[in-house]
Structure 1
């Protein structure tokens, strides 16, 4: 409760305070009169402002501090006078209307005493534009007027009635903001009656100064706006007439007034000016109007017809017309009404080859056809014979190489409807009858008026009767070229000057001298005249020489009388010859010597298209420019490529980017990229675009010096070189290691650095392969084995291989790491990777920690730091080392070898006894094989038959000479000699190169073929044992000779030879060889045992005999398919017939023996088949 009382008390105090403030403000003073003032224009009024001297705010103020303001502007001081200490008076005489009607009295120009409104205006005046309109005469009528402008606004009231007066109707007035008219719409609800003819209106206007009433009588029928005409139709159309029909609205049947009709026509030749058609002949039949359209001027022309109507009344305002109704129609075509107009001398025969005939072309509206208009020209010679008929669409024809005689050209207008009835004729006299030509000496123009002057012909054969002056608009350089029709006029014979006004801006002129119907023909002015200048256009300009930076201009001034004093040359580079817009600011050169006819433009850009114009100038102004001459300078070397940078570098590539040259100076451009003495060409399709290019197949960790040049017809200067080093990569292979021994019999293994290290080669890996594999990490290129080899007899053979290893880092420090030198890289790596110090050795092979870790089957390189990457090179070719026997076992070795030799000789003798009968077996060859085996001699394929036996060639060398009694001994002796070569190693070992890429020494051959193995059983011993096991018979009648030929010219010859030796030492995979054999040769009878046998060893491990090599069918190999005596007795030894037929070739039979492998059983079976 107390809270409510407190709030009410606060509100009351606030109200009292506000009231006191208002009283104090009001008490500041007052204005008399206290009501607004209304006065007419030019009347007087006065205002008095009194200061309340009792007011606290008025203290220390008096009437001198008071002033009247109109808005914020003080009234003129002379209109204010002081009445006493507290009052001033404003007196205004001849008052005028003012937009700001409020007057304010202020103290000290700031505090307001009071405001009074003063309105200056006049009494209501008459409305002068009151009118009414009744659109369509069926719904409403609208009346409008413009209120009288008055600063003291008046209020209006409109009332209407009919006679006899039955009721007054009040019309509500509205203001149209768009037209500022006050309007009243009278509809059926508010008193509209369409049958009433007259409306009586009373308009009352009132304001503070007075009231005015006006009376208006509106004839309703006079202000009806008709409906638009209906159903516009065109009938009976001809080439120059038609009949127009339309209808009025059916509701006007009961309308008591007639309508006035207006018809307008417009064609494409009327320049958008409508032509009103006469209403003569207009008829109204019920509702239909008919109007004949006569004398239409244009045939074959589309017309637009517009019809409108209004009520026939005294009201003539344009707003009483109805809307238009429109319809279209085309007049029919007809043949032309007239031929083209010609003039005497309208021909030009500038030389003996060309004759030009001119005439004034008909306007398009005179063609009388939409299309197909042309001119028909008949050429008639002096004998009245028709030479030819010609057609032309323009106002000129050109005839070539006419015989010199009088000619008449008959010209008619023609279209698809026919030719004009009349014809125009141009007479061209023979040259001997023509007048001499006049000479044009001046062509001037000033303020749009052209003046042409000429001189009469120098020789006159006949009196001149007139001159014909020709002119036409032109847009080209040619003085006799016309853009549109030619025009002409006749000039009196005593007149040699012609003035032309109000024509086109660029004109060509010509003159002809006439004597009756004989004429000189036309002479064209050499210069083209233009408005507002007496300087003609320079027409002949050309380029005499040009290179990549200069253009040599020449020109010819043809109007020698032109008052020019120099030339202005304008030129600029352009983007396109079509637009001719300058790419750069236009340059200009002032040539002040009027006698010059050439100029050299210098310092131009290569391969740039320039626009060149020349204008002559006089003392007052510059003449028109010549037609632009456009040409392109020659190509030149471009400027250097810009901003060459590297974008991405790998261990085998460098990606480059550069910007094109600032000036390409040519059309097609390409680039050369130079790097470390090498270069590559790079073609581009868009010369103006930036280029990215990648150098591939680079060496890793190599510094490259890169430059780029651009080339068009010549190369540019090089860019500034860019230096880039490829990243670390895999080193290349290292050459085969070497070795030497020290005093304590410890081997020292050495090797060379890789030819391309692809990095700093932080360390090498040495692999020692014996009964186990050990890999050492070495810092240097050699190391000494920690222990002697070949002493503990753990392995008889050692192999040494080496490879290089590069170390790289990844991650944030990669960029900084790449900038370091190799020594600094090693130091930084030791800091990041402490294991390098522990496991990378320097002098001896491997560190103790590394050897101990490998003995446990673990490598310290298996777990690398996360930012370390290793790049391994390939392993080198192995260096082999064999351990020899101790000296105390040497005698035992020789003893075993002797036993092996003796055993071999015994086995060979035994085998000979077992097979000698088989060797005497006579083989009968079928007739089909006689030509194949016609010669039993070998043909140079690795074997030669001598008187004592066969000499075998091995690896294309004659290594073995075998007789019937020493075959085995000779072969074995050679192998023994190779195996027993002394070792070069003091440690008792033997070092050999195991590479397959280099020729091998005797020791290599011996080591790889296994001739030092303990197995000394020869092929002959094994063969003899096989024959005993299979029960071969000793009863032989003939011997079989076989020869072994080695394959020539093949990379497999060495491996084949090695495989042969391997077969002698127990290897059995010889079946894949394809060695030729000698043909089977028949021997003599059984008594041939005393002869020295020529049987030779067979280098196969199973019982096969050779067959023709050309047979591509592989015969099955059977382990027991040996030749048996029983099989020989049953038939001849011969290959199967189908095999022989497939493999037979006469050239092969003559050139090479039969080769390949078949079994004796296969030959026997084939012999049985032949029986």
Structure 2
């Protein structure tokens, strides 16, 4: 069922094509013809077709491709048909004919093929690649009627036929047949016979080909290419290679190709002679002899082919390569020289020689020329080594010299040498005079005049020299010098194709003698015969002018003056003028200098000079290029304000018209400050921002450029920065005016950053209220302080600026800005002097935002506090404070009097105890706790000795009064005072009064002594020697010493020293005052406290009148003496009171 459906669809499509067609072309099949045959073709229009209605055969036409065929080849047969007739048809790539209706609609298409019968193939060949496959190829002939090819082959003795499929070689017109092992190829079969048939519509061609399989084998490339290292020399080496073992029994031999290449062969491979190849089975050797270059790396390539009659290049295998390097050796030859190849100018001698080529160095490094200078007698004077072909010697003597030149390298010198003989001036022939050096399109003609006839030496020849040059110096050679010998009867020399810029010289020779070289100073052309200047230089150059000098060396030219051409150039390489060329005419030909003025700083100029005559202008000299000095630039242009904020200004400007330097920077000046701005490209426009500016400040801004100096300043811009945030208001102050109102005042911020339209005052009590105020002070009404719930106030102030995103408003002055704000919001700020009025309502705030205004608030000031108190409370507190103060003063006064009386206590010693009074105990206690000694040496001297014995008889180990810091009885009071620096009041009083009995260690110890008595053991001994009174330190409560010239010690002047009395203190008692020799200092033994210590540092000073009063004080009936307890001493004081 499905097959029937497919057939119906195909049939329907065919019928649809016929229904849609506008007509037919006859014949209905393609046309195949041979060249020069004729054919006819008809086109019939289907008049019943819908698109053909209204048309006839006159509307039909044939087209070949897209071109209309000639009208004479088409004729109308009837109303529906036309006919095309083509005579002597020729082949064509496109031979399709189309019949069209009304030149647009196609009626039908027919192909026509014009060709010929198949022709014999001429390039059939086969190649066998390594006995793996056989590839046979041929090129099909061009034919308009494309033939079909078939290839068959058979092998002898096997006669079976094989068919080989033909394929198109990619990207090639060739067809190929590949026969592989398993599909008909046999390596052992020698003869293959091929049959190639070609068939097309016009005929058939059959050809037979016989191929010898062994003759067409393309072998594999040679293997193991190497150089035997032991055989490498500076000019030879032995090459080794091999072939695969499968070729060992091959019935054909092989041919080899060996070629070498070095860096000096100019990419031309050198084929080596292979007739002397040595073979050992599959190994081969060849000696590479006569290698031209020493110390040179060689690339060796080897390939092989079957030795057969087939000579095509595709029979060769691929190359095998290897590298080696020859050894170095000393140079083979010295440099070439010629007669007269020297120049003697004044005392300078120049020698030249033709430099060797690099390949002649025979070493890649270390090459040089060795020159030996010999004197007139042949003695060696000096040796020179040079790497170039010239030697210059200064201050040469006028005598005969011989120079021997060798070429040398690290291996040694050349065996041969070249000799230059320089005769003394008296032995030289006269120099020739250069007449002209003409140049025309690369052809040079040098002419000279013969030397003067007065010379005794006859000229036998001339030597002409030339070399390339890159400078204006006539004797400077870039590279090697060249020379040739010219016969004596000639006075000119021509040279072609040697270069565009050459220097020439000529020398006259007489045998071995020579005049030396004479250089041609300038070159002229045949068109003008006016020379070309070679020597010009700059003598001075600044930023705006150049001083130029030149030297006219072509004396043979009759010129009238000089033309100097100059212009600024874009680049030294191109030398093209970027501005119109300027010129200066120097009409005085004897003037050889000029100044080029009005030049631009830091611009590269090209300068050329040409000589001119009445009829011609000579060639220009080689360009002299130099750059003028730098200078200060012109001012920056078009300084423009781009934007402004409250702390920055953005500027832009164009680069100066004349930069006059290679590097440039800018200096931006704003008021008294400057800012340096560097740029990478001096020619680029600049846009930058000046930041860290003060708000609402007027700035005068200008810019100037800097190279080696500053330019003039640009036009000045005056810009005011925008309003910013004001600074913090300083500390507030308050006063009370006559109405008892509190006045809060403040100062304007140091940096307002704007106009400060108003201030905001924050009043903080139980609730916070903010007022807006215009002035710098306001009053707080007294009624606010009478509020029962209010105890204190805090005041804070901040400044407020008003800004608007409108340049017109921002440019107004402060007065105009305030008027504008008042007109818009009359209730913006209170006009009252009180702190409790005014302020802007919510509607005004919203309107401010809608109008584009913005309030900029400064920080709040430090708070100012104020307290509200009742008047009666304040009066009561004042009265209580005064009463307390008076009471404290009275208590202090009475305490002072009491302490004063205690310090004036005097102990009267009974006569029976006078012997103890000399024991060093103090007589009376001076002010400040000082012990005052009374001179009693006349009365108590006898008793001192008995007292000493008595004291030493006491028990010395009893320690009744030890300080908290002592550890035994052996420590002295001096030690105690050193360890415990407590004041005497710490021992003498407790809490501002006398010590309580229950806490006094002295009282406890005294009671113990009363119960048990004194110990019989000896007391501690102290030093027997005492210092003079002048050395006694006066210890204050802080342990510091006072000098002997203090006011206290000066009350009683010490007498001359008396024998020292050793002093001990019995335990359990406080020593009572006793008079001793004032020349000795009292010393207390360890464990006892001197009375002076008890009051030391207490601040109680005894004056002389007090002392006199104490001396006359009323004595008790029973005075105390000796050692007493604190209770006894206190009771005694109470009695005195």
Would the TM-score normalized by the shorter structure come out above 0.5? yes
Summarize the Cα distance change of 1:542–1:1118 in structure 2 as closer, same or farther, 3 Å threshold: farther
1:411 aligns with 2:346: no
Match of 2:1020 in 1: none
CA contact (8 A) 1:450 1:499 kept: yes
Corresponding residue to 1:312 among 307, 311, 331 = 307
Between the aligned partners of 1:1116 and 1:729, the Cα distance in structure 2 is 63
How far has the Cα of 1:345 moved from its partner? 1.0
Between the aligned partners of 2:470 and 2:250, the Cα distance in structure 1 is 63
Q: SS of the residue aligned with 1:190?
A: coil
Summarize the Cα distance change of 1:129–1:826 in structure 2 as closer, same or farther, 3 Å threshold: same
Corresponding residue to 1:635 among 614, 631, 640 = 631
Summarize the Cα distance change of 1:377–1:1137 in structure 2 as closer, same or farther, 3 Å threshold: farther
How far has the Cα of 1:172 moved from its partner? 1.4
Summarize the Cα distance change of 1:806–1:379 in structure 2 as closer, same or farther, 3 Å threshold: same
Between the aligned partners of 1:645 and 1:691, the Cα distance in structure 2 is 10
Between the aligned partners of 2:784 and 2:252, the Cα distance in structure 1 is 146
- 1:17-58, CA deviations, whole angstroms, 9 ceiling, x for partnerless residues? 9958835857x5653x44433221112223345567888987
1:440 aligns with 2:375: no
Match of 1:976 in 2: none
Match of 1:612 in 2: 606
Match of 1:139 in 2: 132
Summarize the Cα distance change of 1:563–1:720 in structure 2 as closer, same or farther, 3 Å threshold: farther
Corresponding residue to 2:286 among 284, 291, 304 = 291
Corresponding residue to 1:75 among 62, 69, 73 = 69
Summarize the Cα distance change of 1:707–1:75 in structure 2 as closer, same or farther, 3 Å threshold: closer
Summarize the Cα distance change of 1:1117–1:750 in structure 2 as closer, same or farther, 3 Å threshold: farther
Between the aligned partners of 2:638 and 2:608, the Cα distance in structure 1 is 38
1:223 aligns with 2:216: yes
Corresponding residue to 1:260 among 255, 271, 293 = 255
TM-score normalised to structure 1 length: 0.66
CA contact (8 A) 1:745 1:788 kept: no
Summarize the Cα distance change of 1:396–1:52 in structure 2 as closer, same or farther, 3 Å threshold: closer
Name the stretch that deviates more: 1132-1141 or 403-412. 1132-1141
Q: SS of the residue aligned with 1:240?
A: coil
- Please provide the CA RMSD for this pair: 5.8
CA contact (8 A) 1:748 1:783 kept: yes
Match of 2:277 in 1: 282
CA contact (8 A) 1:737 1:802 kept: no
Corresponding residue to 1:1162 among 1063, 1088, 1097 = 1097
How far has the Cα of 1:724 moved from its partner? 0.9
CA contact (8 A) 1:308 1:324 kept: yes
1:340 aligns with 2:335: yes
Corresponding residue to 1:384 among 378, 388, 405 = 378
How far has the Cα of 1:342 moved from its partner? 0.9
Summarize the Cα distance change of 1:544–1:15 in structure 2 as closer, same or farther, 3 Å threshold: same
- 1:661-694, CA deviations, whole angstroms, 9 ceiling, x for partnerless residues? 4355457766555555x34454658685857565
Match of 1:723 in 2: 719
Summarize the Cα distance change of 1:295–1:719 in structure 2 as closer, same or farther, 3 Å threshold: same
CA contact (8 A) 1:664 1:687 kept: no
Unaligned 5+ segments in structure 2 are 1-6, 840-844, 872-878, 907-927, 936-979, 996-1028, 1047-1092, 1103-1137
Match of 1:430 in 2: 424
Corresponding residue to 1:300 among 295, 310, 320 = 295
1:481 aligns with 2:476: yes
Q: SS of the residue aligned with 1:378?
A: strand
How far has the Cα of 1:351 moved from its partner? 2.3
CA contact (8 A) 1:336 1:419 kept: yes
Match of 1:1155 in 2: none
Match of 1:204 in 2: 197
CA contact (8 A) 2:532 2:611 kept: no
- 1:482-509, CA deviations, whole angstroms, 9 ceiling, x for partnerless residues? 2222111111122221111222332222
Between the aligned partners of 1:407 and 1:612, the Cα distance in structure 2 is 45
Summarize the Cα distance change of 1:780–1:801 in structure 2 as closer, same or farther, 3 Å threshold: farther
CA contact (8 A) 1:156 1:203 kept: yes
- 1:237-273, CA deviations, whole angstroms, 9 ceiling, x for partnerless residues? 3332333333333222222122222222222221111
How far has the Cα of 1:108 moved from its partner? 4.9
CA contact (8 A) 1:705 1:721 kept: yes
Between the aligned partners of 2:332 and 2:778, the Cα distance in structure 1 is 121
How far has the Cα of 1:127 moved from its partner? 0.8
Corresponding residue to 1:626 among 622, 629, 639 = 622
Match of 1:1062 in 2: none
CA contact (8 A) 1:158 1:201 kept: yes
Between the aligned partners of 1:59 and 1:835, the Cα distance in structure 2 is 97
Between the aligned partners of 1:403 and 1:322, the Cα distance in structure 2 is 70
CA contact (8 A) 1:133 1:224 kept: yes
How far has the Cα of 1:1021 moved from its partner? 7.5
Name the stretch that deviates more: 156-165 or 751-760. 751-760
Summarize the Cα distance change of 1:357–1:1034 in structure 2 as closer, same or farther, 3 Å threshold: closer
Between the aligned partners of 1:303 and 1:134, the Cα distance in structure 2 is 33
Summarize the Cα distance change of 1:814–1:868 in structure 2 as closer, same or farther, 3 Å threshold: farther
CA contact (8 A) 1:434 1:518 kept: yes
Map 1:935-954 to 2 at 5 A: none
Between the aligned partners of 1:242 and 1:73, the Cα distance in structure 2 is 71
How far has the Cα of 1:601 moved from its partner? 5.2
How far has the Cα of 1:603 moved from its partner? 5.6
Summarize the Cα distance change of 1:285–1:667 in structure 2 as closer, same or farther, 3 Å threshold: closer
How far has the Cα of 1:585 moved from its partner? 3.2
Q: SS of the residue aligned with 2:182?
A: helix
- 1:856-885, CA deviations, whole angstroms, 9 ceiling, x for partnerless residues? xxxxx9xx9996454479799999xxxx9x
Q: SS of the residue aligned with 2:220?
A: coil
CA contact (8 A) 2:983 2:1095 kept: no
1:362 aligns with 2:356: yes
Summarize the Cα distance change of 1:499–1:39 in structure 2 as closer, same or farther, 3 Å threshold: same
Between the aligned partners of 2:428 and 2:593, the Cα distance in structure 1 is 39
Q: SS of the residue aligned with 1:639?
A: coil
How far has the Cα of 1:404 moved from its partner? 2.1
Corresponding residue to 2:389 among 381, 384, 395 = 395
How far has the Cα of 1:337 moved from its partner? 1.9
Match of 2:959 in 1: none
CA contact (8 A) 1:264 1:305 kept: yes
CA contact (8 A) 2:154 2:162 kept: yes
Between the aligned partners of 1:765 and 1:22, the Cα distance in structure 2 is 103
TM-score normalised to structure 2 length: 0.68
Between the aligned partners of 2:770 and 2:419, the Cα distance in structure 1 is 117
- 1:1008-1044, CA deviations, whole angstroms, 9 ceiling, x for partnerless residues? xx9x98899799987752322335258599xxxxxxx
Unaligned 5+ segments in structure 1 are 1-10, 851-860, 885-1009, 1038-1078, 1087-1112, 1147-1157
Map 1:839-854 to 2 at 5 A: 840-842=830-832, 845-847=834-836
CA contact (8 A) 2:802 2:854 kept: yes
Match of 1:162 in 2: 155
1:22 aligns with 2:18: yes
Match of 1:1026 in 2: 895
Name the stretch that deviates more: 270-279 or 775-784. 775-784
Map 1:553-564 to 2 at 5 A: 553-559=548-554
Match of 2:1083 in 1: none
Match of 2:447 in 1: 453
Match of 1:920 in 2: none
Match of 1:1134 in 2: 1034
- 1:890-915, CA deviations, whole angstroms, 9 ceiling, x for partnerless residues? xxxxxxxxxxxxxxxxxxxxxxxxxx
Match of 2:565 in 1: 569
1:120 aligns with 2:117: no
Map 1:903-942 to 2 at 5 A: none
CA contact (8 A) 1:572 1:584 kept: yes
Between the aligned partners of 1:1166 and 1:537, the Cα distance in structure 2 is 121
Corresponding residue to 2:93 among 91, 99, 110 = 99
Corresponding residue to 1:130 among 82, 100, 124 = 124
Q: SS of the residue aligned with 2:215?
A: helix
